[in-house]
């Protein structure tokens, strides 16, 4: 399983890819899968992170999603932000095709 969260990260969200079309999704507080990071449930601390990962297992088992993993986020004034370049790109789309991916509807996400 992918390891993309920094050890000791305070806030984490959970991402995966949808099985049938591969699209990036995030686990929400009410256990849905949203295409927007802004809908993601945020876990604070290690234990809450593990609990979040545990909640994804059902969707692995029923073949909704694949390859779930935790990654570090920060809460900011204008919403949730991924901590790494990688997860920012994953959330929004390739930085070299601003017309593609979710960034087409999210101007300014790549700073």
Partner 1 sequence: MYRYDEFDQQLVNERVAQFRGQVSRRLSGELTEDEFKPLRLMNGVYLQLHAYMLRIAIPYGTLSSKQLRMLAHIGRKYDRGYGHFTTRQNLQFNWPALKDTPDILRDLATVEMHAIQTSGNCIRNVTSDQYAGAAKDEIEDPRIVSEIIRQWSTFHPEFSFLPRKFKIAVSGTPDDRAAIRVHDIGIQIVQDDKGAIGYEVYVGGGLGRTPMIGKKIADFVPKEDLLAYLEAIMRVYNMYGRRDNIYKARIKILVHEIGAEEMKRQVDAEFAEIRKTGALHLPAEEVARIQAYFAPPAYETLPDESTELNKAIVADPDFANWVKSNVATHKVPGYAIVNISLKPIGGTPGDCSSDQMDAVADIAEKYSFDELRVTHEQNLTLADVRKKDLPAVHAALRAADLATANINLITDQITCPGLDYCALANARSIPLAQQISERFSDLDRQHDIGELKINTSGCINACGHHHVGHIGILGVDKKGVEYYQVTLGGAADEKTAIGDIVGPAFTEDQIVDAIETIVTTYLGLRQPGERFIDTYRRTGIDPFKESLYATH
Give the one residue of 12, 40, 52, 93 binding partner 1; rule: CB under 8 A.
Answer: 93
CB distance 46 to 4 below 8 Å: no
Q: How far is CA 55 from CA 5, 70, 85, 97, 104, in A?
A: 17, 12, 26, 33, 30
Ranges within 66-85 binding partner 1 (CB under 8 A): 66-67, 83-85
Q: How far is the CB of 42 from partner 1 (least distance, A)?
A: 19
Residue among 36, 35, 45, 42 nearest 14 (CA) = 42
Tokens 């995966």 belong to 16
Cβ closest to partner 1, residue 29 vs residue 67? 67
Residue 39 DSSP label:
G
Stretch that binds partner 1, among 21-29, 30-38, 39-47, 48-56 (CB under 8 A): 21-29
Residue 94 near partner 1 by CB under 8 A: yes
Q: Pick the closest to residue 65 from 36, 30, 32 (CA basis).
A: 32
Residue range at the interface with partner 1 (CB under 8 A); choices 32-40, 44-52, 73-81, 94-102:
94-102
- The residues that touch partner 1, with contacts defined as CB under 8 A, are 2, 6, 17, 19-24, 60, 62-63, 66-67, 83-86, 89-90, 93-97, 100-101
């Amino acid at each position: 399983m992918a390891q993309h969260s920094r050890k000791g990260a305070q806030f984490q969200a959970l991402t995966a890819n949808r099985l049938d079309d591969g699209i990036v999704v995030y686990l929400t507080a009410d256990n849905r899968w949203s295409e927007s990071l802004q809908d993601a449930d945020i876990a604070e601390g290690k234990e809450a992170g593990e609990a979040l990962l545990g909640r994804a297992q059902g969707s692995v088992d029923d073949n909704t999603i694949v390859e779930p993993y935790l990654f570090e986020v920060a809460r900011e004034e204008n919403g949730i932000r991924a901590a790494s370049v990688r997860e920012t790109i994953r959330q929004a789309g390739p930085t070299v095709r601003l017309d593609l991916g979710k960034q087409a509807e999210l101007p300014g996400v790549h700073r």
